[in-house]
Amino acid sequence: MPTHSTRDIIVEKADALFYQGGFEATSFADIAAAVGISRGNFYHHFKTKDDILDAVIARRMERTRAMLDAWQDASEGPRERIVCFIRILITNRTSIMAYGCPVGTLCSELAKLDHAAQGRAADIFGLFRDWLTAQFRALGAADRAGALALHLLAWSQGVAVLAAALRDEAFIHAEVAGIEHWLASHPDLSQPT
Amino acid sequence: MPTHSTRDIIVEKADALFYQGGFEATSFADIAAAVGISRGNFYHHFKTKDDILDAVIARRMERTRAMLDAWQDASEGPRERIVCFIRILITNRTSIMAYGCPVGTLCSELAKLDHAAQGRAADIFGLFRDWLTAQFRALGAADRAGALALHLLAWSQGVAVLAAALRDEAFIHAEVAGIEHWLASHPDLSQPT
DNA sequence: GACGCGATAGGACAACTGTCCTAATCTCAC
DNA sequence: GTGAGATTAGGACAGTTGTCCTATCGCGTC
Q: Of A174, A163, A186, A128, whose CA–CA distance to B178 is shortest?
A: A186
pLDDT band at A1 (very low <50, low <70, confident <90, very high): very low
Distance from CA(A20) to C1'(D13), angstroms, rounded: 31
Compute the distance between CA of residue B26 and CA of residue B49 in angstroms, rounded to an integer: 10
- The rounded radius of gyration (Å) of the Cα atoms in chain B is 18
| Rounded Cα–Cα distance for residues A87 and A175 (Å) | 11
C-alpha torsion sign, points A156, A158, A164, A170:
negative
Provide the mean pLDDT of chain B. Answer: 94
**In a 10 Å sphere around its CB, with 0-12 CB exposed, 13-18 middle and 19+ buried, how is residue B61 labelled?**
middle
Whether residue A22 and residue B161 make contact (CB cut-off 8 A), yes or no, is no
CA dihedral over A136, A140, A146, A148, signed as positive or negative: negative
Q: Are B112 and A121 within 8 A, CB to CB?
A: no
* pLDDT at residue A125 greater than cutoff 50: yes
How far does B13 lie from chain A, in Å, by closest CA? 16
* B182 in reach of chain A (CB within 8 A): no
Indicate the residue of A150, A166, A175 with minimum beta-carbon distance to B162: A150
A16 at B interface, C-beta within 8 A: no
CA distances from B146 to A157, A179, B61, B141 (A): 20, 17, 20, 9
Closest partner residue to A175 (CB to CB) among B118, B154, B161 is B154
pTM of model > 0.75: yes
Residue B5 CB neighbour total at 10 angstroms? 10
**Residues in A touching B154 (Cβ below 8 Å):** 155, 158-159, 161-162, 171, 175
Residues in chain A: 193
Residues in A closer than 8 angstroms to B100, CB to CB, are 108, 111-112
Contacts of A169 (CB under 8 A, 6+ apart): A93, A97, A163
Give CA–CA dist A149/B162, Å, rounded.
12
Segment B19-32, tens digit of pLDDT = 999 999 999 999 99
Q: What is each CA distance from A118 to A49, A54, A149, B46, B153, in whole angstroms?
A: 14, 10, 21, 33, 25
Return the pLDDT at B144.
96
B77-115 pLDDT tens trace: 999 999 999 999 999 999 999 999 999 999 999 999 999
Among B150, B164, B174, select the one facing A162 at the smallest CB separation: B150
From chain A, pick out residues whose CB is under 8 angstroms from the CB of B159. Answer: 154, 158
Which nucleotide is nearest to A47 if distance is taken from CA to C1'?
Answer: D19
Is the Cβ–Cβ distance between A164 and A96 less than 8 Å?
A: yes
Crossing angle of helices A102-113 and B6-21, rounded to 10°: 120
- Confidence band, pLDDT 50/70/90 cuts, at residue B190: low
A193: confidence class by pLDDT, cuts 50, 70, 90: very low
- Residues 6 or more apart in contact with residue B79 via CB below 8 angstroms: B135, B139, B183, B184, B192
* Tally of CB atoms within 10 A around A45: 18
Rounded Cα distance between A52 and A42, Å, is 10
Longest dimension (CA), chain A: 59
Q: How many CB pairs under 8 A join A and B?
A: 131
Q: Domains in chain A, please, with CATH?
A: 6-185 (1.10.357.10)
Q: Which nucleotide is nearest to A38 (CA to C1')?
A: C9
What is the average pLDDT across A149-164? Answer: 98
Tell me how far apart the alpha carbons of residues B14 and B50 are, in angstroms, rounded to a whole number. 12
Task: Provide the CA B118 to C1' D7 distance, Å, integer.
Answer: 32
Question: Over 70: is that where the pLDDT of B118 sits?
Answer: yes
B121 and A165 within 8 Å at the Cβ level: the answer is yes
Among candidates B109, B121, B158 on the partner chain, residue whose Cβ is nearest the Cβ of A155: B158
Distance CA A86, CA A156 (A): 7
Whether B90 contacts chain A with CB within 8 A = no
d(CA A38, CA A32): 6
Query: Choosing among A94, A120, A157, A159, which should be mutated to test the B contact, i.e. which has the most B CBs within 10 A?
Result: A157
Task: Report yes or no: A25 at the B interface, CB cutoff 8 Å.
Answer: yes
Contact A22 B109 (CB under 8 A): yes
Residue B116 is given by DSSP the state: T
pLDDT tens digit string along B31-82?
999 999 998 898 899 999 999 999 999 999 999 999 999 999 997 899 999 9
pLDDT tens digits, one per residue of A48-78: 999 999 999 999 999 999 999 999 999 789 9
CB–CB of A21 and B155 under 8 A?
Answer: no
**Closest Cα in chain A, distance from residue B73 (Å):** 28
Show the DSSP H helices in B77-144 as ranges.
78-91, 93-99, 102-113, 118-138
In whole angstroms, D30 C1' to A52 CA is 37
Look up residue B191 and give its DSSP letter: P
State the CB neighbour count (10 A cutoff) for residue A44. 10
